[in-house]
Amino acid sequence: MVNIINFGILSFLIFIFTTVEAVVTPNPSAPTVAAKSYILQDFESGQVIAELNPDYLLPPASITKLMTAYVVLQELKMGNIGLADEVLISEKAWRMVGSRSFIEVNTKVPVEALLRGMITQSGNDSAVALAEHIAGSEETFTRMMNQYADNLGMVNTNYHNSTGLPDPNHYTTARNISTLSSAIIRDFPDYYKWYSEKKFTYNNIVQYNRNKLLWRDKSVDGLKTGHTEEAGYCLAASAKRGDMRLISVVLGTRSENARAQEAQKLMNYGFRFFETHALYRTYERITSTKIWKGDDNGLDLGLQRTLSVTVPRGRYKELIVNLNIKNPIIAPIMQGWQLGVIKIYLGDNLITQRPLIALQDIENGSWWRCLIDAFLMIIWD
């Protein structure tokens, strides 16, 4: 009788424990999002948390100016232009329709004022003025935009202008916008702060940022809105809570409020139910392996860049690391050579994989070492 009672109590406790655990770590599917296309992606790991039609070709409207700004920031980084450089405003720039930064024809405006006006107020006049200043014409500047898109791996993107005004040959995807947003945050941390500015004043005119999430959620610090009749209401947004940063892109929503609400819905879902961990840092030794015919017996293997993973909250300890190393490895070896693959699994699902690289050079060993190793390799086989 005692054993039966004890077994009953034990079963009850197991039931309670597993039930509480299930409540503590839920893993619901993504919310329904009222958009033609969307993507929610972790910045550090690059993993997609939720998506709908992320590769549909759609007009990006003024989200185009993320690439316009990316080109300008590259020019600043390379020293080809400076923030204080004065830009002569052409009649074409002055006459641009749509969102404006209120610049006057034949006046000179600093690059910084144009750039911040374009980022905050989405000024089409500022975009064209910057394009003409950098490349001589908007047409040539657009070719630069497409070249950078190719460099970033933005397949199925084509820019026809610097503003986002409608054109059949002007299109991109939610996935590509997320890629570009990540590149801006990663490559230009000193300038990215401008994307969180709620307003910008130039020529005594206050220009307000149309990204409503900057007012609603203090963790949101960028990026860009867009709207045309063809594109609907669009938003690329990023937020950071703790050590986790997410990027949300929603395209083709019905209103200003809707694009903010749907983006907020996605980011709340991502932060609540997922977590991101850095598993291995850049050039950190992950393992060592045997090296044959070299001036050293062992070779350290690691990664060229930090490896982070995003998993459902509470499941980090379930990750499985699989190392697949090329064998045999024979000297000479140069640092950076790919000599294997690291794969990260959650259960049976492959989460991510990266090349394993040599972390140091290994020169040829002495003739005696080479002779001994040649003999041992035969035995090893």
What does the pLDDT read at residue 25? 56
| Distance, CA of 379 to CA of 92 (rounded, Å) | 77
What does the pLDDT read at residue 202? 84
Domain ranges of the chain: 37-274, 281-380
Closest C-alpha among 201, 257, 199, 200 to residue 227: 257
pLDDT along the chain (381 residues), means of 10: 39 41 65 97 97 97 98 97 94 80 85 94 93 97 98 96 95 98 97 94 87 96 95 98 97 97 97 96 93 85 95 94 90 91 94 94 80 76 65
Instruction: Report, in this order, helix, strand and coil percent for the chain, each rounded to 5.
Output: 35, 30, 35
Helix-helix angle 111-121:124-135, to 10 degrees = 140
For the segment 42-90, what is each residue's pLDDT rounded down to a tens digit? 999 999 999 999 999 999 999 999 999 999 999 999 999 999 999 999 9
CATH fold for domain 281-380? Peptidoglycan synthesis regulatory factor (PBP3), Domain 2 (2.60.410)
What does the pLDDT read at residue 2? 36
What does the pLDDT read at residue 18? 42
| Distance, CA of 358 to CA of 379 (rounded, Å) | 26
Task: Please tell me the CATH code under which domain 37-274 is placed.
Answer: 3.40.710.10
Here the tokens at position 115 are: 């750039």
| Distance, CA of 226 to CA of 61 (rounded, Å) | 5
What does the pLDDT read at residue 157? 97
What does the pLDDT read at residue 381? 65
Alpha helix positions (H), 60-173? 65-77, 91-94, 111-121, 124-135, 138-151
Q: What is the DSSP letter of 171?
A: B
Here the tokens at position 246 are: 């997410």
What does the pLDDT read at residue 49? 97
What does the pLDDT read at residue 364? 83
Residues annotated as catalytic are 62, 65, 122
Distances (CA, A) of 71 to 145, 177, 227, 275: 7, 15, 22, 32
